[in-house]
């Protein structure tokens, strides 16, 4: 049973370039989350979707960040233009539907380690 899939696993880019991170959630999960993790700030929720609809993007740091979920099996997080302070690990997670024990649980992908030079 495949877990959450993210690509690329590592990305090194130069300041000013566009970066696109990709995520495939676990089939059947109805929520998808994008997180960013740094040593200084820990794990931060950027945005989440429910049934492909963006629900809360209050964690998106600024307009350079955008996220889409065109269908239930794919989401992207885009940074344009990228800056050195965007360097972090970006995790995607999906969540089991509500109802019963074991629900409401997030499962994380392996993350994308982004370095902006």
Partner 1 sequence: RKEVEQDPGPFNVPEGATVAFNCTYSNSASQSFFWYRQDCRKEPKLLMSVYSSGNEDGRFTAQLNRASQYISLLIRDSKLSDSATYLCVVNMYTGGFKTIFGAGTRLFVKA
Query: Which residue ranges make up the site for partner 1 (CB under 8 A)?
Result: 31, 33, 35, 42-43, 45, 48, 50, 55-56, 91, 101-102, 104-111
For partner 1, the closer CB: 10 or 16 = 10
For partner 1, the closer CB: 86 or 111 = 111
User: Which residue has 């089991």 as its token pair?
Assistant: 96
Q: How far is the CB of 94 from partner 1 (least distance, A)?
A: 12
For partner 1, the closer CB: 81 or 89 = 89
Three-class secondary structure assignment of 38-102: ECCCEEEEEEEEECCEEEECCCCCCCCEEEEEEECCEEEEEECCCCHHHCEEEEEEEECCCCCCC
Q: What is the DSSP letter of 15?
A: T
For partner 1, the closer CB: 17 or 27 = 27
Q: How far is the CB of 66 from partner 1 (least distance, A)?
A: 21
Dmax (CA) of the chain: 46
């Amino acid at each position: 049973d495949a877990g959450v899939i993210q690509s690329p696993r590592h990305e090194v880019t130069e300041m000013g370039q566009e970066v696109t991170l990709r995520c495939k959630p676990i089939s059947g999960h109805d929520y998808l989350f994008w997180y960013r993790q740094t040593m200084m700030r820990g794990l931060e929720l950027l945005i989440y979707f429910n049934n492909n609809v963006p629900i809360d993007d209050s964690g998106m740091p600024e307009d350079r960040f955008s996220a889409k979920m065109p269908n239930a099996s794919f989401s992207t997080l885009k940074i344009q233009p990228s800056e050195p302070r965007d360097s972090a690990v970006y995790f995607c997670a999906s969540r089991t539907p509500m109802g019963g024990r074991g629900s409401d649980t997030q499962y994380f992908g392996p993350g994308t380690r982004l370095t902006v030079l």
